[in-house]
Structure 1
Amino acid sequence: MELSKLLSVGAVRVVGQLTSKKRLFQELGEMASQAYRLNAAVATDGLQERESLGPTGVGHGIALPHARLEELPGIVGVFLRLEKPLDYDSVDRQPVDLVFGLFAPKDSGVDHLKALALVSRTMRDPAICAKLRANTDPAKLHAILTEARSTQAA
């Protein structure tokens, strides 16, 4: 599994500021709708439902919200870089500025976990995060994310 297969170029965005976690999930849902033709409201609700089980802020300014949705053909991702970090109730209580949202079919089983692990490994790399924080061009952000894992896997 490679990030280049999960994340389309059109699913990467830079946003100046969002006022709440709810608004962040709405933004991720809208991105998924535009990039993958998912129902934005269903995607947003799925993220909020999963978040109610426990925060997906993993620390160091990174959040990995994810949801399992009905009638989704495969696992897809969206990436959002916030210019102004958002309070997210992360495990380290630090605000987040790098958000990788993941959407998987309800019955994806272990593939969903593998995708989440791949995203987590990528986002735990301090060099990758530094590059993401230093760039504002969505195409460049996409390249950083998709090239990172493929070069490390080789």
Structure 2
Amino acid sequence: MNLTEILKPGAIKVIASASSKKRLLHDIGDLAESVYGYDSGAVIEALMERESLGPTGVGHGVALPHARLAAVKDMSAAFILLEKPVNFDSVDRQPVDIVMALFAPEEAGVEHLKALALVSRTLRNADLCKKLRANHDPATLYALLTSDQNTQAA
């Protein structure tokens, strides 16, 4: 699995700022609806439910919100770069500016875990994150995220 299989070029957005974690989750829902046709309300609800189990802010300014949804047939993702970081209740208490949301079919098991591992590995690369933060063009962000050296599965 690699990011080109789950992330569409149109599912990348740069947002000047989000007033809160909840507002950011709404932005993710809106992006998922416009790109993948998912119901925005269902996406937001599922993401908020997942966040209630424990925050998905993994540290170093990165968050990986994810949810399983009935409408999802194949793994998909959305990427948001925030120009102004937002508090995401991350494990290191640092605000988040890089967000990769994953959407999985309700019955997804191993596939969902593989996608989470792939995204986690990709965004653990400090050099990549530095490049992402330095670029605000969605096409460039997509190219950085999907370049072969960053997205090879283990």
Shorter chain as denominator, the TM-score bin is over 0.9
For structure 1, list consecutive stretches of 5 or more residues without a partner in the other structure: none
Please report how far the alpha carbon of residue 50 of structure 1 lies from its aligned counterpart in structure 2 after TM superposition.
Answer: 0.2
SS at match of 2:17: coil
Q: Deviations over 1:30-78 (max 9, x none)?
A: 1011111111110111100000000000000000000000131101000
Partner of 1:52: 52
Residue 143 of structure 1 corresponds to: 143
Give the total of aligned pairs: 153
Given residue 38 of structure 2, which amino acid in structure 1 is its aligned partner? L
Separation in structure 2 between the aligned mates of residue 131 and residue 36 of structure 1, nearest angstrom:
26
Q: 1:40-119 maps to which residues of 2 (within 5 A)?
A: 40-119=40-119
Distance between the aligned counterparts of 2:124 and 2:131, measured in 1?
13
The CA distance in 2 between the partners of 1:71 and 1:130, in whole Å, is: 34
The SS at the match of 2:53 is coil
Counterparts of 1:49 and 1:13, CA distance in 2 = 23
TM-score normalised to the size of structure 1? 0.96
The CA distance in 2 between the partners of 1:46 and 1:146, in whole Å, is 26
Structure-2-length-normalised TM-score: 0.96
Q: State the distance in 1 between where 2:15 and 2:92 align.
A: 23
State the SS of the aligned residue for 1:51: helix
- Structure 2: stretches of 5+ with no match in the other structure: none
1:64 corresponds to which letter in structure 2?
A: L
Q: Residues 107-154 of structure 1, C-alpha deviation per residue, up to 9 Å, x if partnerless?
A: 01110000000000000001110110000000100110011434x56x
Q: Contact (CA 8 Å) 2:29, 2:43: kept in 1 or not?
A: yes
**Divergent runs of 4+, >6 A:** none
Equivalent pair of 2:64/2:100 in contact (CA under 8 Å) = yes
